[in-house]
Structure 1
Amino acid sequence: MTTDKIARTSGGSAPSMPHQAVQVARLYYEQGRTTEEIAAELGLSRPKVSRLLSYARRSGLVEIRIHDPEGEAQGLEARLRERYPFLRPQVVGVLPGSTEDLWLERTATAAANLLSKRLTPGMRVGLAWGNTLEAVSRALTPLNVPGVTFVQLNGSASQSDFVSGFVTDTILRFARNYSGGAQLFPVPTFFDDPLTKRAMWRERSVRHVLALQESADILMYSVGSLDASVPSHVYSAGYLDVDDLRTVKNEGAVGDIATVFYRADGTWEDLSLNARASGPELSLVQRVPESICVVSGLGKVAALRGALEGRLMSRLIVDEVTAVAVLETDA
């Protein structure tokens, strides 16, 4: 096999070097062929193929662009800190054209890694369950942290969770990963009557869990949103009926943290459904120095922006595309 096998020009003469370089570059970059395969197909030596690829790059026939997600992410972090001086943001780079499922996967992995770095023996960690924290729980890498306790922040006692085990499985996955303990919160996600909640909150067993929540060293949670491409678990699993959802929207709520709703300006007082919610007062996430909010997805932009306006976190882990959308909305 000789170099005569490579395509010749219409006049029968051997192709020019640029023409050869384009042929080789198309096979290498567009079709993913190896230099050995290209050499065999075109009747060239492998060194000749390598020289043609180098020529294609030097001459500008081929342009190589590298997208550095982390480089763009650092710029977004600086913009978020400038707009929200209280915030310690971590923006997770994602590849152009990737899906929201992949954004969530990368964001959850970043949150899992951060948690492992922040944990020390004897810590108490408050967790607000949901789709995002469930993804974080599956991204954890096993680590033994003596005496760590994970405390459920909002109730989940409902027919839905009794059947699926979604909430308890998530909390227990955190505890088992770190060889720690778990304190579940077996009260309804939303009470039918605020008076029932008040009575329950006087029970000794409930007060014990509330005290653990108040003494947490770290909180980890996401923001709930009806507009997310995958609706937050509290909405999709039937914890709220049609009238509840209508009330939430009519009162101007844009999202929730641990099933406690808030408005676009971050305030939550006087929203009627909060009197029935099992989650903590949102002042808790303002008091705990390590309040980690994990957010991914364009459907959560309004909810995230409201939480930022209310300073309902000290640390944010967010994917790059969602961070851009929040900053553009702010502008």
Structure 2
Amino acid sequence: MAERNQDRFRLLVKICQLYYEDGLNQLDIAKRLGISRPHVSRMLATAKSEGIVKISIHNPFSVEQELEKSLLSLFGIQDVLIVDSTDMNPDQLYSLLGRTCSPLIESVLRDGDHVGIMAGQTIASVAEELDYFASEGLQFVPLVGGWGSDGASWHANTNAMAFANKLKAKYSIIHAPAVVANEGTGTLLREEPEIAKVLHQAQNSRVAIVSIGDVSEQATMVKSGGFSPEMMRELKERGAVANLCASFLDANGQEIEFSQQNKMIGLSAWDLRAIPTVIGVAGGEQKIEAITAALRGKWIDILVTDTLAAREILSSYHNLK
């Protein structure tokens, strides 16, 4: 090696040791060696390009991230976060999805945001796992009325209140059920000033945090007593596989017509589409068809789900091709 090249190589190695091993920043190195900071930056870049420095990342999430890339490529949404659900029961999965969603919410929310909140145990777990972060002027708003008289701990109102309490923010409440006895009552309630005000706030949310419900006897709307067996039968006959706020989707992600639609108090899927950032949180085997429908219809911008659901969604999609 020529003497000049050897001196250059020695300097490259010294700068790399100071930066990567000793923890000095570029300005400290520049002062120590009597050179400019931009020159230090160029030398570090040269060291990487010439193979003097090789950076490897220990990534325990490589499997999940490959699934994320596949879903992003396939459905073209903004982002996907996937958690490992191996050997987990449903309660554990709720908590894990909630913990995964917590830092995402902190990164997405801005001061002054109106945030739409859906009903469901998954969304309740997100609120429970959420860590406090400083913010100003946040307002949490329910996206639908109450799903019946049972399950009040994960109604949209309760979930909105839980988020607000965690972040020391304000919240609104819809003083009405999600489903009423007849269309006339539904019309009157939607026009009632206080309810109309909250629905308007929900429509003007910048962020919505929603569950993706399946159409089954295990769904939140059924377990809470909001939907009768007859209503569920009609939905299934019409091909419904997913529930998104006050709307229902078929397997292709298209919103379906439903005879009880005017009895429902809450935002429709089309209202949801007008919200700039919609975060869908759902996982588990029973939600695979529902999540796929929401993705196909492009009703959500960011998906938080688990490895089991992600693999099955990808497998089912490719089998249909």
Q: Which interval holds the TM-score relative to the shorter structure?
A: 0.7 to 0.9
Q: For residues 235 and 257 of structure 1, what CA distance do their matches in structure 2 show? A: 14
Alignment correspondent of 2:109: 119
Q: What's the Cα RMSD here?
A: 2.0
Q: For residues 133 and 219 of structure 2, what CA distance do their matches in structure 1 show? A: 28
Alignment correspondent of 1:258: 245
1:157 positional shift: 7.1
Q: Give the 3 Å change call, closer, same or farther, for CA 71–100 of structure 1 in structure 2.
A: farther
Q: Does 1:83 align with 2:74?
A: yes
Which letter does structure 2 place at the counterpart of 1:85? G
Q: For residues 272 and 263 of structure 2, what CA distance do their matches in structure 1 show? A: 19
Instruction: Map 1:95-106 onto structure 2 (within 5 A).
Output: 96-106=86-96
Q: For residues 212 and 103 of structure 2, what CA distance do their matches in structure 1 show? A: 20
Alignment correspondent of 1:130: 120
Q: For residues 99 and 175 of structure 2, what CA distance do their matches in structure 1 show? A: 28
Select 1:304's aligned residue among 278, 287, 291.
291
The aligned length equals 260
Which letter does structure 2 place at the counterpart of 1:191? V
Instruction: Map 1:150-189 onto structure 2 (within 5 A).
Output: 150-156=140-146, 158-160=148-150, 164-167=152-155, 168-189=157-178
1:272 positional shift: 2.1
SS at match of 2:163: helix
1:104 positional shift: 2.6
Provide Cα deviations, 1:15-44, integer angstroms capped at 9, x if missing partner: xxxxxxxxxxxxxxxxxxxxxxxxxxxxxx
Q: Does 1:92 align with 2:83?
A: yes
Highest CA radius of gyration, 1 or 2?
1
Select 2:133's aligned residue among 112, 126, 143.
143
SS at match of 1:116: helix
1:165 positional shift: 4.6
1:258 positional shift: 1.8
TM-score by length of 2: 0.76
Structure 2, unmatched stretches of 5+, are: 1-57
Structure 1, unmatched stretches of 5+, are: 1-66
Q: For residues 239 and 276 of structure 1, what CA distance do their matches in structure 2 show? A: 11
1:116 positional shift: 1.7
1:198 positional shift: 1.7
Provide Cα deviations, 1:236-278, integer angstroms capped at 9, x if missing partner: 1111111111111111110101242111111224222322222
Q: Give the 3 Å change call, closer, same or farther, for CA 286–321 of structure 1 in structure 2.
A: same
Q: For residues 292 and 260 of structure 2, what CA distance do their matches in structure 1 show? A: 21
Is the 1:125–1:151 Cα contact (8 Å) retained in structure 2? yes
1:90 positional shift: 1.4
Q: For residues 84 and 320 of structure 1, what CA distance do their matches in structure 2 show? A: 17
SS at match of 1:272: coil
1:75 positional shift: 0.6
Which letter does structure 2 place at the counterpart of 1:129? A
